[in-house]
């Protein structure tokens, strides 16, 4: 049975095909919207519709046998109620005429369309919890980024200090080398100076001896 056949089946019971189509569309729309929003749609005796989260996993391609990673996803799930199960299994007989006797759903058991106060409060709590979790995650990421930035800055400062120390060491080494080169030259000059004085004294003595003669 498809949707059109379903509409035709209940058309006489709701006053016409147009009303039946609108009723079917309204019920399906309410169920889909509720399940997508994370609510559970439960009809006592018939079953329940809910959203189920599936974690990421590995599966195998049936054609090639290759191992494939399946991403995390959410899927709708329907669980038949006990009355529905009993009718399908045959433990209870399906009535020949009239509607199937399904227990009346308690107030608030059917979620969808306009939510009850309890559902609205639960949804608000869920939204608040999600926002709080998102804020915590964002704060952790920000703290981690700041820590990484501090470490990077510290490394740069240490690198600059190391470079400065190396440059200072090179300058000191250059000064020592220059000092070593200059020191022998001064000593040689100092040694040469007495030789000139000795020569001058000898010349003066010779002149004095020549005058006496």
The model's pLDDT over 85-122, given as tens digits with 9 standing for 90+, comes to: 999 998 888 877 656 655 555 555 444 444 444 445 55
- pLDDT-above-90 percentage for the chain: 36
**pLDDT value, residue 100:** 65
Domains of the chain: 1-53+70-95+102-113 (4.10.520.10)
- In angstroms, the CA 67 to CA 61 distance is 6
- In angstroms, the CA 196 to CA 140 distance is 84
- In angstroms, the CA 76 to CA 52 distance is 6
Cα distances (Å, whole numbers) of residue 129 to 67, 115, 123, 133, 181: 37, 19, 10, 6, 78
User: Residue 12 corresponds to which tokens in the numbers above?
Assistant: 């006489």
* CB burial of residue 19 (10 Å; 0-12, 13-18, 19+): middle
pLDDT in tens, 173-205: 777 777 777 666 555 555 555 555 666 777 777
**pLDDT value, residue 152:** 72
Average pLDDT over residues 48-65: 92
Does residue 56 register a pLDDT over 90?
Answer: yes
**pLDDT value, residue 160:** 80
Q: Which of 2, 27, 1 is nearest to 14 (CA)?
A: 27
- pLDDT-above-70 percentage for the chain: 72
């Amino acid at each position: 049975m498809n949707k059109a056949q379903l509409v035709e089946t209940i058309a006489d019971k709701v006053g016409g095909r147009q009303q039946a189509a609108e009723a079917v569309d309204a019920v399906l729309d309410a169920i889909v919207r509720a399940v997508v929003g994370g609510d559970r749609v439960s009809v006592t005796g018939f079953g329940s519709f809910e959203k189920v989260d599936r974690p990421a996993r590995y599966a195998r391609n049936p054609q090639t046998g290759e191992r494939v990673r399946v991403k995390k996803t959410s899927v709708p799930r329907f669980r038949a109620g006990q009355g529905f199960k009993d009718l399908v299994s045959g433990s209870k007989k399906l009535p020949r005429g009239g509607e199937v006797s399904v227990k009346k759903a308690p107030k608030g058991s059917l979620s969808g369309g306009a939510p009850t106060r309890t559902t609205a409060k639960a949804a608000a709590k869920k939204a608040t919890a999600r926002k709080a979790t998102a804020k915590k995650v964002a704060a952790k990421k920000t703290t981690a980024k700041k820590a990484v930035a501090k470490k990077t800055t510290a490394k740069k400062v240490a690198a600059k200090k190391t470079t400065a120390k190396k440059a200072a060491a090179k300058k000191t080494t250059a000064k020592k080398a220059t000092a070593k080169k200059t020191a022998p030259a001064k000593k040689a000059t100092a040694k040469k100076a007495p030789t000139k004085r000795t020569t001058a004294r000898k010349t003066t003595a010779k002149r004095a001896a020549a005058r006496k003669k």
